[in-house]
């Protein structure tokens, strides 16, 4: 097992469908933050594991999530000036 931390872009806010992110199977999200003008996910991964699509959506506080559907798991919150973004994984 070759474990390391990789960085992935999260879907931009306002996208109402879960954006796919290709990650090694079993990747564990360890941090979510703004880098430049992009919300990023950092994940502990086994870089030798087969790849799989994971699905995430980024929403603002108070935004409805019922349009996304599925089981949801909050993975992180990003403070960006006066804006607050929440990255949620849609579990399939």
Domains: count for the chain: 1
- Assign 13 a pLDDT band (cuts: 50, 70, 90): confident
Task: With CA atoms as reference, report the closest residue to 37 among 88, 83, 90, 4.
Answer: 83
Residue 18, pLDDT score: 74
Residues 27-76: pLDDT tens digits?
999 999 999 989 999 999 999 999 999 999 999 999 888 767 779 999 99
Judge whether residue 15 has pLDDT over 70.
no
* Residue 40 confidence (pLDDT): 96
Residues 4, 1: Cα–Cα separation, whole Å? 10
pLDDT at residue 76, as a whole number:
97
User: Residue 47 sits in which domain range?
Assistant: 3-91
């Amino acid at each position: 097992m070759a474990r390391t931390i990789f960085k992935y872009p999260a879907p931009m806010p306002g996208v109402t469908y879960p954006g796919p992110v290709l990650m090694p199977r079993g990747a564990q999200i360890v941090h979510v933050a703004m880098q430049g003008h992009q919300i990023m996910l950092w994940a502990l991964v086994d870089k030798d594991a087969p790849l799989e699509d994971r699905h995430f959506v980024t929403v603002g506080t108070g935004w409805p999530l019922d349009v996304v559907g599925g089981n949801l798991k909050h993975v992180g919150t990003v403070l960006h000036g006066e804006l607050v973004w929440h990255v949620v994984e849609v579990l399939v």
